[in-house]
Amino acid sequence: MKILLISQYFPPDLGGVATRTNNLVKGLVANGCHVTVITGFPHYPHGNIPKEYRRIPIKVEWIGKTKVIRSFMPPLTSEGLIKRLLLIGFFAVSSLFALPWIGKIDTVWGGSWVPGVFYSKVKRVPVVLDVCDLTLEDLPMLKMVDENSLLLKIAAIIYRFFYSKGNAVAPISPGYVNTINRKYRVNESKIDVIQVGVDAAVFKADAKNRLESEPFKIIYAGVLGVGYDFEQIFEAAKILDEKKLSVVFIIHGNGECLDSIRNRLKELNQTNVVLSDKLLGSRREVANLLGSADALILPLKNYGGPYPGIPSKLYEYQALGRPIICCAEGEPAKYISESHSGLVVEPENSKLLAEAVSYLIANPKKSLEMGLNGRNYVEREVTITAIGQKAKALFAQLMEEQNEK
């Protein structure tokens, strides 16, 4: 089976979408598929295009047996609505120029919908539309756009048009299904949830034995974006410091909120919160960093209601066998609770976050049990091989349906 996978983001880009794409490629290859990837020049989130991609429109690379076709992206940081729209637009156009390098394909995975539908029509093969987030629903919750704005109404019409062009729709979270079905009028029979998953061979559950002289280390690693609430961490750190508990929070990453976090930490002058923007070159380096933690944290903002997505980092956290502190409502909280892999804390509630940390410190056996529960769940349900198998089965079904027409 020959699959064309299209995504604006792919490693070394950071973030959940790049992780989603990378895991899917590995999973499909592990299931015997031949994959070609169309993606942009590395650019997310910093906007720094590496030298080897400058002044050329297209570059073809090979990662193992996978052909990766990278197309032009402008050197823009991914911040603010206008820049984000420009980046999406550039990739939608530049990715079309990869056509001469595609060859024969059997199906398309459209992480980016415009080129996904385009290549599906040109090659006369089915297309699966990937849904990594509910962008139009997230924007008003993040106060980036008014929910009654004309822009969102027009965008919803465009989204509905593209949804109608997909042979199938593959959201990463079951929390997206209701919106896709009701708002965008996609029949539930066309919706197949395929999680992000995790490379359990890279994210390993090694034992972590903390010495009494060492502080209890809690790490967040990922994009420093507007969807996260780091203020909750700062306030909880202050509470724990006042209680004389030896705790350190490490915030590692890059993104549009980096400067504001750095300035806030200078203002607070807290010694038990450390910020690092060192660029990690591989997922293995990320795994090594996270593996040094005693607990891992997901500090989502208060979205004013249940959050429908499941961030990809939760699977990585689980695979490392560490207890998770999930500051969120909705699907992330439900996922952590049902897999018994951590503690759920109300977002923006620093007091409850401090209590959760205190509980983990006071109950090391329970912390270990939560970590093992997470690792066992990953191995059972969401390895990249399992994710690739789900996607391959969906592709095979669509190809069969097309052949019957």
**Whether the Cβ atoms of residue 123 and residue 142 lie closer than 8 Å to each other:** no
Pick the closest to residue 325 from 390, 232, 202 (CA basis): 232
Residues 263 and 344 in one domain: yes
| Sign of the alpha-carbon dihedral angle for 224, 227, 228, 231 | positive
Is residue 121 situated within a structural domain?
A: yes
Is residue 344 situated within a structural domain?
A: yes
Is residue 65 situated within a structural domain?
A: yes
pLDDT per residue as tens digits for the range 202-221: 998 887 766 677 899 999 99
* Full-model pTM: 0.86
Q: Which region among 194-198, 350-354, 356-360 has the lowest average model confidence (pLDDT)?
A: 194-198
pLDDT score recorded for residue 48: 87
Residue 238 backbone zone (phi > 0: left; psi -120 to 50: alpha; other: beta): alpha
Is pLDDT of 223 > 90?
no
Output 82 or 332, whichever has higher pLDDT. 332
pLDDT score recorded for residue 403: 81
Residues 83 and 106 in one domain: yes
Residues 226 and 319 in one domain: yes
Residues 244 and 373 in one domain: yes
Cα atoms in the 13 Å half-sphere on the side-chain side of 80: 6
Q: Averaged over 135-150, what is the pLDDT?
A: 77
Is pLDDT of 186 > 90?
yes
Residues 16 and 132 in one domain: yes
Is residue 239 situated within a structural domain?
A: yes
Residues 104 and 170 in one domain: yes
In the sheet where 58-63 sits, what is the strand order?
58-63, 66-71, 34-40, 2-6, 107-110, 127-131, 168-171
Residues 139 and 265 in one domain: no
Is pLDDT of 346 > 90?
yes
Output 19 or 282, whichever has higher pLDDT. 19
CB under 8 Å to 257, separation ≥6 — which residues? 224, 225, 226, 228, 230
Q: Averaged over 320-334, what is the pLDDT?
A: 96
CA 236, CA 229: separation in Å to the nearest integer? 12
Is pLDDT of 379 > 90?
yes
Q: How confident is the model at residue 281 (pLDDT cuts 50, 70, 90)?
A: low
Is residue 207 situated within a structural domain?
A: no
pLDDT score recorded for residue 82: 85
Q: How confident is the model at residue 405 (pLDDT cuts 50, 70, 90)?
A: low
Residues 125 and 221 in one domain: no
pLDDT per residue as tens digits for the range 99-142: 999 999 999 999 999 999 999 999 999 999 999 988 788 777 77
Q: Averaged over 323-344, what is the pLDDT?
A: 96
Is pLDDT of 62 > 70?
yes
Residues 129 and 267 in one domain: no
CA 217, CA 250: separation in Å to the nearest integer? 7
Number of domains in the chain: 2
Give the mean pLDDT of the chain. Answer: 92
Q: Averaged over 364-388, what is the pLDDT?
A: 94
pLDDT score recorded for residue 85: 86
CB under 8 Å to 90, separation ≥6 — which residues? 40, 72, 73, 74
pLDDT score recorded for residue 98: 95
Is residue 208 situated within a structural domain?
A: no
**354 lies in which domain range?**
216-381
pLDDT score recorded for residue 282: 78
DSSP codes of every residue in 339-402: HT-EEEE-TT-HHHHHHHHHHHHH-HHHHHHHHHHHHHHHHHH-BHHHHHHHHHHHHHHHHHHH
Let me know the angle formed at the C-alpha of 190 by 227 and 383, rounded to the nearest 5 degrees: 60
pLDDT score recorded for residue 313: 93
CA 272, CA 217: separation in Å to the nearest integer? 10
Residues 292 and 282 in one domain: yes
pLDDT per residue as tens digits for the range 289-320: 999 999 999 999 998 889 999 999 999 999 99
SS3 of 190-249: HECCCCCCECCCCCCCCCCCCCCCCCEEEEEEEECCCCECCHHHHHHHHHHHHCCCCEEE
Residues 64 and 171 in one domain: yes
Q: What's 260's domain CATH number?
A: 3.40.50.2000
Provide the percentage of residues in the chain whose pLDDT is more than 70.
98
274 DSSP assignment: E
pLDDT per residue as tens digits for the range 27-37: 999 999 999 99
Q: Averaged over 326-333, what is the pLDDT?
A: 96
Is residue 71 situated within a structural domain?
A: yes
Q: Averaged over 189-214, what is the pLDDT?
A: 86
Which residue do the tokens 């070394």 mark?
12
Q: Which region among 146-150, 152-156, 188-192 has the lowest average model confidence (pLDDT)?
A: 146-150
**Whether the Cβ atoms of residue 310 and residue 177 lie closer than 8 Å to each other:** no
